[in-house]
Amino acid sequence: MSAGDGLRVQSIYEGFFSGGARVLHSAVITGLHGGGRQAHSVLSIHHEVLREGLLQPMTEDPRYQALRAAGIQVASLGRHPESGDAPTSRGFTEAELATAAALASRSDVVLSLKEQPLRLVNQDGFPERPVIACLHRSDPEHQGPALDDLLATVAGGRLAGAVCCAESTRDAYRAAGVPASLLHVIPNGVDLARFRPLAPRRRAARRGMLGVPPDATVVAFAARYDEMKDVGLFVRSARAFLARNPSGHVLMCGAGMSPTNPALREDLRASFADRPDLLVRVHLLGVRRDMESVYGVADVIALTSSFGEAAPLCLIEGAMSGAVPVTTDVGDAASIVDGIGFVTPRDPAAVCAAWEEAARRRDELSLALLRSRPRFSHTRMIAAYSTVIERLHRGQRVPLGVR
């Protein structure tokens, strides 16, 4: 698709690294780009980033590779950890500003993936374009100076609107000072063709590939190693679960969920010191590109986050793959699992009990999980993004059908 084929939209990423917001945003713009009405491109401020103890180069990221495969142009300002972590990294060189301005001048609309890239948009000389911030958390107060950047974009008249992935996101940013008229909720969705229950034979085969017995009770945890995810609570809950359930197995995947992470090793040592034998049933899978396989072998998909979450993709992807979601009450998680899963207090014994109940009632809940699929469709989500982008580009009000 050439730029003349439709509305030209540029997304600005802080960088490419593991995380649900990047997974979702990349899926959205890939769908929009392929739809024929919009031509998308991406600018990444960093060429590689150091997060969760991992150096993550842009070109090795699955989202980057998927965008390029879809014909979406991806450029970078070329920043590396040694420059990106410097105290002056919020500033930009003349060369960086010139590159960003040249790329943005070729677009009709600019999307900011989360609020962090808005510090670039707010620079003098950045082209005047309608800016839409895509917000994916429920804790603006934990985003450091990025909230100030968002409010500066509002004050400067640059922000045409903000897409919130959850009601909790909208409420939090409204309370933080963003005008309600600019905030539009588009609930997260996933690719239902990719995330679906596995046939029994395939499920057993994939369990075997992960070293999990066919008759095991499996709890999966898909998260990066981060304070907001409360990995310690998950590990303590896993200790209780494995001690009570001899057939239980636990899968941990995501950035930092590997034996090379010393913090995770310490979490496991602290919780399993008296029962190291149980650790043989804890599978540390690290970053995976086949999340549909991980979810597909699980009976339960768990979330133990303490703050920050809005509409966690792991709960949706896991549920659409046939795993019963069990979550702490954070963001919109309770409404996501309503009728198909469980909300648990933040206590290891309570979490363990909820996992056990979820696994015990998995067959009973399978019909509810199946019937919930249409409300989590990414087709619906992409269509809503298309409407918001095109309406805001024309300076029109967003229709009531988009919350």
Q: Is the distance from CB of 183 to CB of 170 less than 8 angstroms? A: yes
Residue type, 179: P
**Is residue 398 assigned to a domain?**
no
**Is residue 400 assigned to a domain?**
no
Higher per-residue pLDDT: 275 or 6: 275
pLDDT (average), residues 266-293: 97
State whether 214 and 264 are in the same domain.
Answer: yes
State whether 183 and 212 are in the same domain.
Answer: no
> pLDDT at residue 323 above 70?
yes
| 358 closest CA partner among 253, 241, 268, 252 | 241
Q: Is 179 helix (H, G, I), strand (E, B) or coil?
A: coil
Q: Is the distance from CB of 129 to CB of 11 less than 8 angstroms? A: no
Query: Residue 324 is inside which H or E element, if any?
Result: strand 324-327
> pLDDT at residue 305 above 80?
yes
Higher per-residue pLDDT: 17 or 336: 336
Q: At what angle do helices 20-34 and 62-69 cross, to 10 degrees?
A: 0
Buried b (16+ CB within 10 A) or exposed e, 334-352: eebbeebbbbbeeebeebb
**Is residue 132 assigned to a domain?**
yes
pLDDT of amino acid 140: 95
**Is residue 371 assigned to a domain?**
yes
> Which residue's structure tokens are 């057939």?
247
Q: Which residues pair with 163 in a beta bridge?
A: 134, 184
Neighbours of 273 (CB within 10 A): 9
Number of domains in the chain: 2
pLDDT (average), residues 233-254: 98
**Is residue 194 assigned to a domain?**
no
State whether 255 and 326 are in the same domain.
Answer: yes
State whether 372 and 382 are in the same domain.
Answer: no
**pLDDT per residue as tens digits for the range 43-95:** 999 999 887 677 889 999 999 999 999 999 999 999 988 654 443 457 899 99
State whether 214 and 236 are in the same domain.
Answer: yes
State whether 113 and 241 are in the same domain.
Answer: no
**Is residue 102 assigned to a domain?**
yes
State whether 73 and 87 are in the same domain.
Answer: yes
State whether 232 and 180 are in the same domain.
Answer: no
pLDDT (average), residues 269-274: 97
**Is residue 349 assigned to a domain?**
yes
State whether 333 and 358 are in the same domain.
Answer: yes
CA distance 400 to 175: 21
CA distance 223 to 213: 23
Q: Range of 65's domain?
A: 3-189+378-393
Q: Is the distance from CB of 14 to CB of 114 less than 8 angstroms? A: yes
pLDDT of amino acid 18: 82
**Is residue 148 assigned to a domain?**
yes
CA distance 155 to 132: 14
pLDDT of amino acid 144: 87
CA distance 26 to 4: 22
State whether 105 and 141 are in the same domain.
Answer: yes
CA distance 74 to 15: 11
State whether 160 and 293 are in the same domain.
Answer: no
HEC readout, 210-235: CCCCCCCEEEEEECCCCHHHCHHHHH
Q: Is 45 helix (H, G, I), strand (E, B) or coil?
A: strand
> pLDDT at residue 142 above 70?
yes
**pLDDT per residue as tens digits for the range 174-225:** 999 999 999 999 999 999 999 999 999 999 999 999 999 999 999 999 999 9
Q: Is the distance from CB of 197 to CB of 295 less than 8 angstroms? A: no
CA distance 90 to 120: 8
Query: pTM of whole model > 0.75?
Result: yes
State whether 121 and 229 are in the same domain.
Answer: no
CA distance 45 to 294: 31
Q: What CATH number is given to the structural domain containing 16? A: 3.40.50.2000
Identify the band that residue 403 occupies on the pLDDT scale cut at 50, 70 and 90: low
